[in-house]
Amino acid sequence: MLVQELAAKVQQPPSRYVQPEQYHPVSLVVAAEKPEPIPVIDLSRLLAADSADNEGSKLRFALQSWGLFLVILSALVLVFLACC
């Protein structure tokens, strides 16, 4: 049986998949008004001795809180990647 056929027979999702209202977000509108920016990680700063700790902390935070991040590739990193 196809998923579409099963879905056509179900009017509401099974209760085990429905989160009780007490666990619903307080306000989705508030979250949409001020979205957090996606973390940006500069790979060249990870390689630089003077900024590696700070950028490493940003990377750790991005992975723990977001699970993703935006990568900036500086010219230094592009040269490094091109030669290797």
**pLDDT at 83 (0 to 100):** 59
Q: Report helix, strand or coil for 49.
A: coil
Bridge partners of residue 62, in order along the sequence = none
Domain residue limits, the chain: 3-83
**pLDDT at 1 (0 to 100):** 65
Segment 58-82 mean pLDDT: 75
Query: What is the distance in angstroms between the CA of the first residue and the CA of the last residue of the chain?
Result: 51
Q: What angle do CA 24, 28, 34 make, to 5 degrees?
A: 140
Bridge partners of residue 70, in order along the sequence = 40
**pLDDT at 73 (0 to 100):** 66
Question: What single-letter amino acid sits at 84?
Answer: C
- Residue 22 structure tokens: 């007490």
pTM attached to this predicted model: 0.46
